[in-house]
Structure 1
Amino acid sequence: MKKTALIFGLSALMVSCNQSVKQQEGTEDSTEVTVEANEAKTEVANSSAEFNIENIPFSTANIGDFPFINLPEGLEAHKRAIESKFDVCFFPINGVMTPFEGKLYKANVGAVRGEEYSQRYFEKSMEDYLLSVGAVKIFEGEITREEYDRYHKQDPNKGNDGDIGYWNENIKFYVIRSKDKGNIYIQYTSNNAGGKLNVLQEEAFKQTITKVTANEIAKDLTEKGKSILYINFDVDKSNITTAGKEVVTQIAKALQKDKNLKISIEGHTDNTGNPEHNKKLSDARAKSVMNALVTDGIDKNRLSAIGLGSEKPLVANDSDNNKAKNRRVELIKIH
């Protein structure tokens, strides 16, 4: 009897243990399914939500001046960072790279000399700061390879420092809405080698091109002794485009108003390419302007032309904007 009772007790204990294990396994399976279902639901909700800047609450924090973010202690931006008065940058709205325009800052971020870069340090510093000034997280994740293929050729800064928006990088995207500073879009990404940061202060485009007039040219020549003009030529040629000919017409009118005015026409380039080629091209372009003025009735004895290539830049050739300023024609008053 005692032996029978012992066997029966052990059997009951084993059954009880097996049932307990099955219940635990069932609970774990159930929990796992619930988590996956919640994650799927969140992804669907995120993908279907439409971004509307009007739904973002205004931040009352003092965020300072553009680019609004000082990097964490021990980190610095690389020297080739982009800071443009007006540009375009693409940000992930529900995983779709969407263009916004305005004042732009883009930089690669690394450790200062002698320090080690920490991905966690950079990301934690950024997240805590942004949330402290009222930024709202719009997106975190990767875009698809198909999305990259769709948009990347539209981005004029693709491949430059601070370029974010590849299919294999985790992007964190925030928005700050400020009554004083407007809409500010911030995204960053990082790995164990370094980080990247983009800041865009949204602004509408302002047209700054004005038509060159004979009166302005004459005034510059009288008051400054020279007039700086941007005459359009065919690419790598001396042929004057239709828009360029309109500027030449205004030069002719200025010279017709003052019959005693004599000028030297100087052609200038940036430092891109072969210096000797640039000098020959700038000389040919200066002579094209001179010949066009003669065709418009200006006495050739009042004109001279020379090409200086990249020898006399207006500004340093350290950015696309500055190089554009250096590609010019100058009219110099001859006394």
Structure 2
Amino acid sequence: MKTNTTLGVLFFALTITATITSCGSGEKKEETNADTLATTTEIPADQPAGSTESFKDFDWSTVPQSNAEIGAFPFLTAPSGFIITDKGRSNESKTGYSEMKDFNKLIMFTGASFYNAEGKVAKLVFKMKEREGDWNQYSFDSSVDKYMQSIDAKLLGKLKVTQAQKEFLNKEDDMSIYNHIVGDPYNDPVRMYALNHSKGKIMFQVYSNSASGEVGVVELAAFEQTIKAPTAVQMKKDIDANGKAILNINFDIDKSTLQPEGQKVLDEILSLMKGNADLKIAIEGHTDNAGSGDHNKKLSTDRANTILKFLTSNGISASRLTAAGFGAERPLVANDSEANMAKNRRVELVKE
């Protein structure tokens, strides 16, 4: 009996000791896990951290300045065995790029958010030289990435577009990703680089898959507004000399509602009509070639009617006015650059 009692007390003591030890071990394990997580939650460059559906300014102080030799725009050439194709994607380009626009943008992914990099933009499409065999993705990637390292360009991140990012970037224009990110970022990642060079700030998009390679280049520059608000006096001079006045009126993007600067132009048109009681005009709206023909025709018509309604509501007889829209049917110049597209987005006051 005494032996059993002694064994029972010993067993109880061992149980209590094991329980205390177990509790202490659990607390220590939780602390260790917390420390481990704190040091491993940094997101790799090719893995977006949570929600990245935002645009933010880019902090160039995070990119060391480079003085490497980079040559002239677009700052890189085709690797050995490759060519940069022309816009038709067949012959070798004679300009060093496949497409170029004096002012446009690339949508850059910084690893945590997006950034609109505006300026001079070029797109380079690569293919193998004849007799060089099938596309060599490994050689292309190695050549381009090592070149980026050699000029001290910083890899910001790799973007393979998620559904949330697609909806965010294309929410106002379903062609935004297509127009401003090279390659096919829905299926293969696009590498994003920043170069803080003594010549200026430059950004690159690099894309490749098993069949092709593309690079986007933007030399950052602020937009320079070259359009000036016309006056009633100048409109009258243009109509007398040419039979019409060509106006660039600021409407809201893809709408027929006016921006404040656009309203100032309409005030000048009103002054023109009030100061020349015998003048009759046709208000003709025109667009660039972005978007479908039917959409552009309706948009240009709606904008012309916005002007007509403004004039009639301010005392100008409707008998002196007509309004029509022609979309992109009558361009002033080829729609081959942002500057030329801006010229084609216009309203003409044609004397009748």
Instruction: Give TM-score scaled by structure 2 length.
Output: 0.60
Judged with a 3 Å threshold, the aligned counterparts in structure 2 of structure 1 residues 165 and 56 are, in CA distance, closer, same or farther, namely farther
Instruction: Give the drift of 1:44.
Output: 5.5
Ranges in structure 2 where 5+ consecutive residues have no aligned partner: 1-38, 46-57, 89-97
SS in 1 for 2:236: helix
Instruction: Report the CA distance shift for 1:154/1:206 in structure 2 as closer, same or farther (over 3 A).
Output: farther
User: CA-to-partner distance for each residue in 1:15-67, whole Å, 9 max, x for gaps?
Assistant: xxxxxxxxxxxxxxxxxxxxxxxxxx9996977xx975365133142521x32
> Partner residue of 2:78?
71
Question: Which amino acid in structure 2 is aligned with residue 312 of structure 1?
Answer: R
Whether 1:332 and 2:341 are equivalent positions in the alignment is: no
Report whether the alignment pairs 1:220 with 2:238: yes
Alignment check: 8 A CA contact 2:109 2:159 kept: no
Compare 98-107 and 50-59 and name the one that shifted more. 50-59
The two structures, once aligned, show a CA RMSD in angstroms of 4.5
| CA pair 235-138 structure 1, distance change in 2 beyond 3 A | closer
Q: In 2 relative to 1, CA 139–307 (structure 1 residues): closer, same or farther, beyond 3 Å?
A: closer
What one-letter code is carried by the residue in structure 2 that aligns with 1:71?
A: A
User: Is residue 315 from structure 1 mapped to residue 322 from structure 2 by the alignment?
Assistant: no
Residues 326/112 of structure 1: CA separation in 2 closer, same or farther (3 Å cut): farther
Tell me the CA shift for residue 312 of structure 1. 1.6
Aligned to 2:52: none
Summarize the alignment of residues 1-335 of structure 1 with structure 2, pairs less than 5 Å apart.
52-53=60-61, 56-64=64-72, 66-72=73-79, 73-77=81-85, 79=87, 83-84=100-101, 85-92=103-110, 95-103=111-119, 104-111=121-128, 116-132=134-150, 134-139=151-156, 142=158, 149=164, 153-154=168-169, 157-160=176-179, 162-163=181-182, 166=185, 169=188, 171-180=190-199, 182-207=200-225, 210-231=228-249, 241=258, 246-269=264-287, 272-273=291-292, 282=300, 286=304, 289-300=307-318, 302-316=320-334, 325-334=343-352
Tell me the distance in 2 between the aligned counterparts of 1:261 and 1:79. 47
Q: Match of 2:155, as an amino acid? A: I
Partner Cα separation in structure 1 for residue 190 and residue 292 of structure 2: 37
Provide the rounded CA distance (Å) in 2 between the counterparts of 1:98 and 1:44.
18
Q: Distance in 1 between matches of 2:161 and 2:254?
A: 36
SS in 1 for 2:71: coil
TM-score normalised by length of structure 1 = 0.62
Shift of residue 222, structure 1, vs aligned partner: 4.0
Match for 1:227: what amino acid? A
Distance in 2, matches of 1:52 and 1:240, equals 37
Contact map agreement 2:104 2:338 (CA 8 A) in 1? no
How far 1:160 sits from its partner (Å)?
Answer: 3.9
1:184–1:227 Cα change, 3 Å = same
1:289 positional shift: 3.3
8 Å CA contact retained: 1:78, 1:109:
no
State the SS of the aligned residue for 1:125.
Answer: helix
Decide whether the 8 Å contact of 1:317 with 1:323 is kept in 2. Answer: yes
Q: Secondary structure of the equivalent of 2:266?
A: helix
Report the CA distance between 1:330 and its aligned residue.
0.6
Count how many residue pairs are aligned between Structure 1 and Structure 2. 283
Q: In structure 2, the residue corresponding to 1:70 is in which secondary structure?
A: coil
Unaligned runs of 5+ in 1: 1-40
* 1:231-261 deviations in Å (ceiling 9; x for gaps): 5679999x76575554333212023334454
Decide whether the 8 Å contact of 1:267 with 1:308 is kept in 2: yes
Contact 1:217 1:254 in 2 (8 A): yes
Letter in 1 for 2:78: L
Aligned-partner residue type, residue 105 of structure 1: A
